[in-house]
Structure 1
């Protein structure tokens, strides 16, 4: 049997990003990066990534893993209880989150929080209860929120509208829906984050949505180790690969990739209140 030919994949350094930007959503504290985190961080820097947002999935993960980034001041933090973990959320967890936000200036947002109707893991009413409690926490702390919404856009929007979050800082993480949904998000003054799947050839709906989103409301993310963009689809994602997403979004917007990268960085700095 003939040996399968190894696919030659473009390296992220070839995209030509030459200014500093922001990767807004990574999970670098997961086990996927334990063996080569220094190399991953070095590649990110080579590819023009000046800041990385690491998302901790709950207070226990935060306490256990925040020390991984002691030597990486370019990493800022978000902390939230994911909807798929909301059935294990206790009052003590919410109190631990409050203490963490009060004591750690690297924590910039409450998230990712929201609803997930794709996985049948946690009853919807339990998800919604924990979602609302974390919105209340963010409101009390006067912090932005990062939203996870999978197959639950309509109900997520209803909860946010009912909660009175319109006009308050919100980032819709990992957007992959249509232009109509994007416009509903934008009407509230919120931001939209674009992940790697926008590079997939058949993802026409999300590509058309990106064309309709004003650049001043866009940021970029990997959601690594998940959702690798082309040409690394199917492999572990990492922050450096965000440049392929930037290139695709720039193409869709008819912009130079460095201009798009810089504008998205400005938006991320504003949203997360990052120092230069």
Structure 2
């Protein structure tokens, strides 16, 4: 049986005006070693003027931050991923505090949280790492970029029991439905939408998108993961946010330009980039 081949569309044919922001990317990964500069050029040509690169631990930050010395449009996030919770030690927390004190391009603690899909790290270590980094974020007065996978109830319980209602927190890579979106929004947090909002089967996600207030909505790639249609199954990159913006616009009965500009402004405001 033959399968219809997906037609790849050049994102630059859907380029939007300058002002867009990819709030969550992993451009320091080996997946971009061969063409990182080309990827960054395509991002700019697509209309992105801000990209948040997420470093997964102080060692990665120390070694890889220089990759972006020539790219002031890239700002940084730093945190220990829940799957690496065993690496969250007193020393690593001290190193992160020092990094935040010395590097003004660091704009948030993240991605941190809980991930019960993968079995890389025991739950008790994930929780300990999460709670420790939440305390550090509050101590430093830094926003939080949250990772949550198959752990929504416990994540919400931890955040709410520690008084994070109203704290600047971005629920990264949201793929839930209206009920979860309402709970997040009720706590005063922001929501970031990745490429899967473009997938045909994700109707509940698009219903959630329609009810997110305009001032709480951000765009992201989480590249190299989670590419939008029509690039599903390939490496994701920041320029592909144009496809996500078009899908959000359709779900919200708005223009792609309006969504693009609003999400970009929200990212600049959330991360203090103005």
- TM-score class normalised by the smaller sequence: over 0.9
CA distance in 2, matches of 1:6, 1:125: 44
Structure 1 match to 2:22? 23
Cα distance, 1:88 vs structure 2: 2.4
Map 1:89-238; keep pairs closer than 5 Å.
89-238=88-237
1:81 aligns with 2:77: no
Match of 1:65 in 2: 64
Trace 1:9-48 onto structure 2 (pairs within 5 A): 9-48=8-47
Using the alignment, how far apart are the partners of 1:206 and 1:146 within structure 2?
20
Matched length: 274
- Following superposition, the deviation at residue 6 of structure 1 comes to 6.0
Contact 1:179/1:209 (CA < 8 Å) preserved in 2?
A: yes
- Does structure 2 retain, via aligned residues, the 8 Å contact 1:78–1:111? yes
Cα deviation, residue 174, structure 1: 0.1
- Superposed counterparts of 1:258-273, under 5 Å: 258-273=257-272
- Aligned CA-pair RMSD: 1.4
Distance in 2, Cα, partners of 1:171 & 1:162: 18
Q: Is the 1:19–1:258 contact (alpha carbons within 8 Å) kept by the matching residues of 2?
A: no
Distance 1:88 1:240 in 2: 32
Q: What is the TM-score with the length of structure 2 in the denominator? A: 0.97
Residue 51 of structure 1 aligns to a residue in which SS? strand
Residues 55-93 of structure 1, C-alpha deviations (whole Å, 9 max, x = no match): 000101101100000010100000000000001221110
Q: Which residue of 2 aligns with 1:242?
A: 241
Helix, strand or coil at the partner of 1:230: coil
The residue matched to 2:161 in structure 1 has which SS?
A: helix
Offset of residue 96 of structure 1: 0.3
